[in-house]
Amino acid sequence: NAGVMQNPRHLVRRRGQEARLRCSPMKGHSHVYWYRQLPEEGLKFMVYLQKENIIDESGMPKERFSAEFPKEGPSILRIQQVVRGDSAAYFCASSPKGTSSYEQYFGPGTRLTVT
Amino acid sequence: AQRVTQPEKLLSVFKGAPVELKCNYSYSGSPELFWYVQYSRQRLQLLLRHISRESIKGFTADLNKGETSFHLKKPFAQEEDSAMYYCALKNAGGTSYGKLTFGQGTILTVHP
């Protein structure tokens, strides 16, 4: 099992462009969490998804950010019209189920730089 | 709202010395707490969870509900313990099962 995969590992975008971050959960995991780590801060929860469903998006900025986890393929975190303040490390984690009984396994993260 | 606080951004000790990484939390329900570790150039990984009451790599952490703390301790630090450590609280209720709230992290450096 290769573990949680994220790509790209580094992404550079100019202000106003779109950023697409991908997360492939571990085999057999149907629950994905996205976290953002701004410079000098801890990881902050953004969104929790199951296959084809957004369960909790309470941590997502209201505009420009969206996430999906289709039936087939990776989970995608999409940021439209990026701004400098979006520069951060974005981590996803997966678990087999979304209950407190299961550990979350983290990917290596995508470092987004907005120039 | 739930919150996790790690008051020390940086912590330096010498090899063989005891180490304690502090973590305090606020949560209205019954908390489930974890310590995660990130070694250099590696991904974040679970170190230990309070419900397991286990010792991993010589580390232990006791949940103190009275003081709302979950400090991580090791009696004799090793150089390979140098890493970033995050304390995290899991939301175990409602529709947010599994959502983690992280502290800001503590960078531990163990000097030879």
Task: Inspect the interface and report whether the beta carbons of B99 and A48 lie closer than 8 Å.
Answer: yes
Tell me the residue ranges of DSSP E strands in A4-104: 5-7, 10-13, 19-24, 31-37, 43-50, 53-56, 65-68, 75-79, 88-95
R_g of chain A, CA atoms, integer Å: 13
Task: Inspect the interface and report whether the beta carbons of B95 and A43 lie closer than 8 Å.
Answer: no
Averaged confidence pLDDT in chain A: 92
- CA A49, distance to chain mean position in Å, is 10
Instruction: Express each pLDDT in A23-58 by its tens digit.
Output: 999 998 989 999 999 887 889 999 999 999 998 899
Residue A67 burial (10 A CB sphere; 0-12, 13-18, 19+):
buried
Task: Inspect the interface and report whether the beta carbons of A107 and B99 lie closer than 8 Å.
Answer: no
**CA dist., res. A109 & res. A6, Å (int):** 6
**CA dist., res. A91 & res. A106, Å (int):** 7
Does the structure show a pLDDT above 90 at B29? Answer: no
What six digits make up the tokens of B100?
């983690």
Which of A45, A95, A100 minimises the CB distance to B101?
A: A45
Q: What is the pLDDT of residue B56?
A: 85
Instruction: Express each pLDDT in B85-112 by its tens digit.
Output: 999 998 766 656 678 999 999 999 999 9
Q: Which residue has the higher pLDDT, B83 or A97?
A: B83
Number of CB atoms found within 10 A of residue A40's CB: 8
Say if B99 is an interface residue toward chain A (CB within 8 Å): yes
Q: Which residue of B has its CA nearest to A96?
A: B98
Task: Inspect the interface and report whether the beta carbons of A33 and B102 lie closer than 8 Å.
Answer: no
- CA A41, distance to chain mean position in Å, is 17
- Residues of A within 8 A of B6 (CB-CB) are 42
Say if B30 is an interface residue toward chain A (CB within 8 Å): no
Query: Best residue in A26, A45, A47 to probe B by mutation, most B CBs within 10 Å?
Result: A45
